[in-house]
Amino acid sequence: MDEEQWQATFSFNLDGTRFLIRELAPGMLSREYGRIVNIASISYAGDWGQSDYAASKAAVVALSRTLAIELAPSVTVNCITPGVIKTSATAMIPADIVEKTRQQNLMKRLGEPREVAAAAIFLGSDDASYITGEILSVSGGIWRGL
């Protein structure tokens, strides 16, 4: 993998999260209230052929956990790690890989965007006021590992 691809992947997957938090966190701290919910991927734990993607998503997870420490107790920071979700990006994955993922998945289906949104709504709500620094996998039971 060349340096340009590595940097582009990190910029795409990490910089938007970092820049948004940098703009919003000071106001949350001054109000002594805030909820940050970041989105990474189950690939943060490692995924074959995707070292740039997995490393950039691991950076989002590490950023989330670090900010949970730094912004507590006023602001909660959590991270959702979706599995394969039915999106326009999924349409670009070869069909055999999507089917393999579906078969490995305990739910035997791909996730729906609304399922990730529901997790984000929960983590952003006062019902999750005692939850911070957590990584919530919305993956149908699939877990990347060595």
pTM of the model: 0.93
Pure H helices in the chain: 3-10, 16-31, 51-71, 95-104, 113-123
pLDDT tens series, the chain, 146 aa: 899 999 999 999 999 999 999 999 999 999 999 999 999 999 898 888 889 999 999 999 999 999 999 999 999 999 999 998 999 988 888 889 888 888 888 999 999 999 999 999 999 999 999 999 999 999 999 876 65
d(Cα 127, Cα 99) in Å, to the nearest integer?
36
Tell which residue, 38, 59, 50, has the closest CA to residue 116: 38
Cβ atoms within 10 Å of 134's Cβ, excluding its own: 15
Active-site residues, by number, are 53
Domains recognised in the chain with CATH numbers: 3-138 (3.40.50.720)
Q: Which two tokens stand for residue 139?
A: 């993956």
pLDDT score recorded for residue 146: 57
From the list 135, 57, 137, 61, the residue with the least C-alpha distance to 105 is 137
Q: What is the pLDDT of residues 28-40, one digit of tens each?
A: 999 999 999 999 9
* Tokens linked to 3: 């340096």
Residue 97 has what pLDDT? 85
- Give the per-residue pLDDT at 23: 98
- The pLDDT of residue 101 is 83
Which tokens belong to 87? 């999106």
DSSP state of 89: T
